[in-house]
Structures are given as structure tokens and as C-alpha cells.
Amino acid sequence: MRDVAVVAFAQSRAVRAEEGANEVEILMPVVSAAIERSGVPRKEIGFTVSGSCDYLAGVPFAFVQGLDAVGAWPPIRESHVEMDGAWALYEAWVRLQHGDVDSALVYAFGKSSLGDLPQVLTLQLDPYCMAPLWPDSISIAALQARAWLEAGHDEREMAEVAARSRKAALANPMAQVAQDLTPEELLKQPYLVSPLRRHDCPPISDGAAAVVLAAGGLAREVSERPAWIRGIDHRIEPHGLGVRDLTHSPSTRLAGERAGVGRATVDVAELHAPFSFQEVILRQALGLGPDVEVNPSGGALAANVMMGAGLVRIGEAAGRVSDGGAGRAVAHATSGPCLQQNLVCVLEADQ
């Protein structure tokens, strides 16, 4: 395998509704910042790939407009996934394995404020038996939370995740929701959709993120401390919720094993858990003990740009490696209802 590293990351500040600006106007400064930080000249980037979803804006081929932010002339090698940008990054990593190009720009954007997100997300369900009932995404997550509680957990675990995430977000200027409240205070809040309280759910966010990858010698040339991708894998579970064990995440476990999470000590993990209890499921699936720092950024409970929050996890984890804060980091991204699809990426500094 060819060595590939994250050499730059940029993101917009997540906000509930970016008034005035369209997707391109949100994305452009983020793409420019990532390219500038990478030290790779824009016109020398070998591959460009993005993650977004046309259903968020309700506009067909909305992702094509996103290319306005890139400068795609003369024509560039470009691709798109209708998925979180973390999967776009996976495609870029595969593309760099070909060996003919040495750098890639990966970006993601989502402007969920244009529609009713919990309703829009209903369209990712099985179209025959489930979607026609229009269960919204929070209700679906509440079903999973109930199953998880009945399997021997309690609401305090959920409140602890939410309290820690929101407190951590106080140190993250890009976060949307940040506050210092104890689990006890959070447990006094009313239910939003039982057993979920508002703080158990992610905020709805508008925003964008971008990462630049570089291979081998180029990564060493442009970065003092590249965050090397030492393992990356993604797995998916069946579409039908009824055939899955919602209290565990076998796809995360398998992706984590394939990515080599357990091969050495993990210093920090950025887990894409849109709902509080899902973090506990993910920690267990990845075998992360209590000594692993989880979501110092505040995670998806503090900012959850749809189609971008998974890429942000990789960017945040890489940032911890590159700034010397961690020697080995794990990033995770999820997509679909109830942690249906999961990607795990292991990032390391040079030994």
C-alpha cells in the first residue's frame, strides 16, 4: 500500500441556518483554506472528490454547482459520492493508490436548513414498507435507543456522553452547541422523543469541510507532521431495521478490525455518533477503553453538518496527530439510520 496522509483540513463554523449564503458561498472559503494550508498549488492537485446529497437542497445535481468552488478549468479529474465526505475521502485514498497522482482534494457540504431534515432523512429508509409510513430520523433513533436501554443500559450513560461532548465543544470555535451542564442537570430536561432528550440528538447544521490528502514524498515535503492513514475500511448492514441487532454495531467492529484499530494504543478517537447513546455502541464496537479521549471536538452532538460530519471527524483526528497532541488517532464516520454504514480510519504520526 502507498503511504497517504491528511496534510490539511478546514471547516466552516457550523450554524443552524446560514442566512444569505448558498452552498457554493459556504464552501468556497473552506476549500481555499484547505488548499492554502496544504501547500499544494491548486492547479497541481491530482484528484478532486466530494460528498453531498441533493435531497438536502431539493435540487437535482446540486453537487455540480459545488464545483464552482474548486476552479475546475482546465478540466480536472473529479468524482462525487452521494454520501458523507468521509466516503469521498475513501475514494480519494483508493485513487491515490493508483500511483499516478500524488494529491487529492476532498470536500463535503450540507445546507440542511433549506428543508425539514428529519423528514428528508426518511427517504433513506426501505421505500416499500418503511418510508411510506414517514418515520422521521429522530423517531427512528429513539427506537434504537429504546432497544439499547432494554439491553441493559441506562439514561445516565446517555447524559454523560451529552454533557462531556457539549463541554468539550466550548473549546471548539467551529461548534454550534456548547455548554457546561452536569449529567444530572441534563436528566432533568423533558423528553423530545422518548427516551431521547434534546441533548441526546445532534443539532441541525449548515456548513462545509475540506481535506487535502498527499502521498509519500509529497506529504513529507508539504507537512512537518503528516497524519498518515494506516488503515481505512467501511462496512454496511442490511437496509431493514428489523433484521439488525440495533444494540450493537457489527459493521463498525468489522471496519475497525480491518483498519487495525486494536494493533496499538489509541490516544484519541473522533466518533461520528449523531445520537448520544450511539457513542457507547461505537466505543464498544471499536474496543476503545476508558483511557481513550473521545470527541475532544464535541463530536456530532455539538455540530452535525449532514454529509460533512464524518469528514470532519477525520479532519479533527488528523489535526490532533499533526499538532503533536496524539501519536495515534481513530476517526469514524456513519451514514444511514441507526448506524447502518460505518467507516473507520486509523491515523498515525511518523514513529
Give the three cell numbers for residue 339.
448506524
CB 31, min distance to another protein, A: 7
DSSP state of 203: P
Residue type, 142: A
Using CB under 8 A as the binding rule, whether residue 82 contacts another protein is answered as no
How far is 126 from 135, CA to CA, in rounded Å?
11
39 near another protein, judged by CB under 8 A: no
| Residue 135 CB, nearest approach to another protein (Å) | 13
Q: Which helix (H) or strand (E) holds 246?
A: none
Cα separation, 204 vs 14, in Å, equals 9
Count of residues that interact with another protein, criterion CB under 8 A: 34
The residue type of 92 is A
**Residue 120 in contact with another protein, rule: CB under 8 A:** yes
Q: Among residues 62 and 169, whose Cβ is nearest to another protein? A: 62
Q: Is 10 in the site for another protein (CB under 8 A)?
A: no
Task: Give me the least distance between CB of 150 and another protein, in Å please.
Answer: 31
In the complex, minimum distance from the CB of residue 240 to another protein, in angstroms, rounded to a whole number: 16
Q: Phi and psi of 145, rounded to 5°? A: -60, -40
114 binds another protein (CB under 8 A): yes
Q: Residue 5: phi, psi to the nearest 5?
A: -130, 155
Stretch that binds another protein, among 21-29, 213-221, 297-305, 322-330 (CB under 8 A): 21-29
What does the alpha-carbon distance between residue 347 and residue 321 come to, in Å, rounded to a whole number? 7
Q: Which of 2, 11, 38 is nearest to 232 (CA)?
A: 2
Is 57 among the residues that bind another protein (CB under 8 A)?
A: yes
- With contact defined as beta carbons under 8 Å apart, do 202 and 225 qualify? no
Closest distance of CB 23 from another protein, Å: 8
- Exactly one of 1, 20, 41, 290 binds another protein (CB under 8 A); that residue is 20
3-state secondary structure of 325: coil
Interaction between residue 125 and another protein (CB under 8 A): no
Out of 79, 119, 139, 194, the only residue in the binding site for another protein (CB under 8 A) is: 119
The four Cα atoms 77, 82, 87, 89 give a dihedral, to 10 degrees, of 30
Interface positions with another protein (CB under 8 A) = 20-25, 28-29, 31-32, 42, 55, 57-58, 65, 67-73, 111, 113-116, 119-120, 123, 127-128, 131-132
